[in-house]
Amino acid sequence: MACPAGPWEPLAVQTGSVIDALRRGEPCVFRQRAAHWPAVAQWSWERLEALAPDLPVRLVQGNRELDATVFQASTLGAYLRSLHGPATPGAAPLYLKEFDLLGTFAALRADVRPQELFPPGALHDAQTWIGPAGARTGLHHDYLDNLAVQLVGRKRFYLLRPGVVERLGAVAAKHDRWAALASLNADAVAERGVAVGDAWMVDLEPGDVIYVPARWWHEVANHTSSVLLSGFFGPRTVVYAQWAWRQAVHGAHLAGLWRRGDCTCHPKRVNAC
Ligand SMILES: [Zn+2]
């Protein structure tokens, strides 16, 4: 992939403790902080494929944060085989998002060391994003801090400071259970002008860890087929408060009272007339 044009500055590399970086509240990357995890050294597509080849999975087609929400059904084995086979030219990438790999396959938990990253006492989850080169998560922000570990492959994060998208009036109405979405992609926001220190970019290699603080906008694109382990976390009271609020919003959505037909969780409907 070509070097980014425009205002994207390289994200700060942190060599100190994760706790110190979290205290500063600015995004950063910890190069090779998880390089010694068995998952980074040992996971292969063939090994993951063999876990449960017939397990049904739901794939997201294309960039559902920015474009229409489209799903496709597959099996874990067929999908993972497609990630190391030849790409289908012109097809929108299919993405296995928010997949509970470690919950589904308990044996894999021995291959990761989340306790080395998260602050003592913090609540955290762990989900995986598994996708091909070109797969993209559109510009959005989450409501909790996140630490994500690149386990397999390479991907790029674009980050924009809280307020940048809001000042452009580019916060989307589209509903997402856990995130706020933007109605522009990251490059389109950058083209409209951002201040020095507001736009950051980093390429992650296997073993790298990124810290994305709550409410920092980010867009993520795969350079290669990739597995990212992502953990939202925070003090117990903060996590419970955010969870209860998002559950209430999402409950209203499921009842048809909030953003019906404009969301990342239901497929785009085609009107008959
Ligand atoms: Zn929905």
Domain boundaries of the chain, sorted by first residue: 9-254
What are the C-alpha distances in Å from 205 to residues 35, 63, 66, 202, 226? Answer: 10, 22, 26, 10, 10
The residue with greater pLDDT, 6 or 53, is 53
Q: Is 241 left (phi over 0), alpha (psi -120 to 50) or beta?
A: alpha
pTM of the model: 0.92
What pLDDT sits at residue 6?
67
- The pLDDT assigned to 72 comes to 94
Which CATH number applies to 9-254? Answer: 2.60.120.650
In this predicted model, what pLDDT tens digit does every residue of 242-258 receive, in sequence order? 999 999 999 989 999 88
Q: Cα(136) to centroid of ligand 1, in Å? A: 20
Mean pLDDT along residues 197-221 = 97
Place 55 in a pLDDT band, splitting at 50, 70 and 90: very high
Reported as a single tens digit per residue, the pLDDT across 76-88 is: 999 999 998 777 7
**What's the 259 CA to ligand 1 centre distance in angstroms?**
8
Both tokens of residue 28?
Answer: 């950063």
pLDDT at 272: 44
Note the pLDDT tens digit of each residue in 256-269: 988 988 989 888 76
Give residue 155 CA to ligand 1 midpoint distance, Å.
Answer: 27
Q: Which residues have CB less than 5 Å away from ligand 1 (the ion)?
A: 263, 265-266
In this structure, are residues 68 and 268 in contact, taking their beta carbons and an 8 Å threshold?
Answer: yes
By the 8 A CB rule, do 7 and 188 touch? Answer: no
